[in-house]
Amino acid sequence: MPKITFIERDGNRREVEAPVGLSILEIAHRNSIDIEGACEGSLACSTCHVIVAPEDFERLPDAAEEEEDMLDLAWGLTKTSRLGCQIIITEELDGLTVSLPTEVHNALID
């Protein structure tokens, strides 16, 4: 089974199993990793913003325009920022590393 590594806000690294077909958001929730996902993966917020390790970013499919629009609302946006709800695990993504941004902006309640 593929694995991914989360780098949490405090710098702690957690490697977890990443079942094929699940999103990074779903995997984070299954492993009690602190990603909000306020819209529950419906692509209506940016609270599942993750920063993909630069060496892994090219392995991802391109972001859809809708994801790019939501990312514009994310705090701490980087060149390798993506929404965790939009990255679906495949065998090819085994070993992926993503960092959680230090802050999250929830436009649904702010």
**Tokens standing for residue 110:** 């702010």
Banded pLDDT at 58 (limits 50, 70, 90): very high
What pLDDT is stored for residue 75 in this prediction?
A: 87
Specify the CATH number for the domain of residue 47: 3.10.20.30
Banded pLDDT at 104 (limits 50, 70, 90): low
Residue 14 near residue 6, CB atoms below 8 Å:
yes
What pLDDT is stored for residue 102 in this prediction?
A: 85
Is 108 a domain residue?
Answer: no
Total domains present in the chain: 1
Mean pLDDT, residues 33-42 = 92
Q: Which domain holds residue 41?
A: 3-99
Q: What is the sign, positive or negative, of the torsion defined by CA atoms of 63, 68, 69, 73?
A: positive
For the chain, give the mean pLDDT: 93
**Tokens standing for residue 48:** 């599942």
